[in-house]
């Protein structure tokens, strides 16, 4: 998967879509540090993206494990 932001695209939207596409049947949940490492982002960027996607229902956060998975949206 090409991780470069396409010309004319909004970087934040592109990053959010990359995160959503990372969730697969073989890898259904992710932690903040794993996302940051996978994409080469600061941990704070990964945390804000995951929290925003969870806030809108695209992801669900498990407080016990501090991991995210695809939500109902």
Count of domains for the chain: 1
In a domain, 42, yes or no: yes
Instruction: Check whether 68 has a pLDDT greater than 90.
Output: yes
Question: Three-state SS across 35-65?
Answer: HHHHHCCCHHHHHHHHHHHHHCCCEEEECCC
Q: In this structure, is residue 5 part of a structural domain? A: no
- Structure tokens given for 65: 């494990």
pLDDT for res 32: 98
* CATH number of the domain enclosing 49: 1.10.10.10
User: Roughly how many angstroms between the first and final C-alpha of the chain, as a whole number?
Assistant: 24
Domain of 57 in residue numbering reads as 11-70
pTM score above 0.75: yes
**What digits encode the pLDDT tens for the residues 29-65?**
999 999 999 999 999 999 999 999 999 999 999 999 9
- Tally of CA atoms within 13 A in the half-sphere of 32 that contains its CB: 18
């Amino acid at each position: 998967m090409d991780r470069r932001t396409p010309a004319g695209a909004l970087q934040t939207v592109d990053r959010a879509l990359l995160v959503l596409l990372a969730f697969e049947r073989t890898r259904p949940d992710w932690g903040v540090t794993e996302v940051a490492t996978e994409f080469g982002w600061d941990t704070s960027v990964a945390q804000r993206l995951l929290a925003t996607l969870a806030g809108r229902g695209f992801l669900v956060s498990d407080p016990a494990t501090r991991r995210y998975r695809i939500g109902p949206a």
